[in-house]
């Protein structure tokens, strides 16, 4: 799934996003493009799980 995170603008943001995604699914494959403000992840969990984790981390 592809997520657009317009507020992801620095390395700290990337680390926060990564931690939030891993808190929802420690086995998720994550590819982050900071310049495009985009996260591509592969997981068996539904999108809503990641939206909740990112919102709780202040990344949405």
Q: What is the pLDDT of residues 12-54, one digit of tens each?
A: 999 999 999 999 999 999 999 999 999 999 999 999 999 889 9
| 60: confidence class by pLDDT, cuts 50, 70, 90 | low
> Which position has the token pair 């990344």?
59
Among 11, 14, 46, 41, CA closest to 27: 41
Quick one: pLDDT at residue 56? Answer: 86
pLDDT above 90: residue 59? no
* CATH code of the domain occupying 2-56: 3.30.70.100
Return the structure tokens found at 5: 């995170």
Lay out the sheet containing 2-4: strands in order across: 2-4, 38-42, 29-33
Q: Which helix (H) or strand (E) holds 39?
A: strand 38-42
- The pLDDT, as a whole number, for residue 57 is 84
Residue 60: name the closest of 26, 13, 12, 11 by CA: 13
């Amino acid at each position: 799934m592809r997520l657009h995170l317009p507020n992801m603008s620095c390395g700290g943001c990337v680390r926060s996003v990564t931690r939030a995604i891993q808190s929802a699914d420690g086995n998720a494959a994550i590819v982050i493009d900071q310049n495009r403000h985009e996260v591509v992840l592969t997981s068996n969990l539904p999108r809503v799980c990641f939206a909740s984790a990112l919102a709780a981390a202040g990344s949405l």
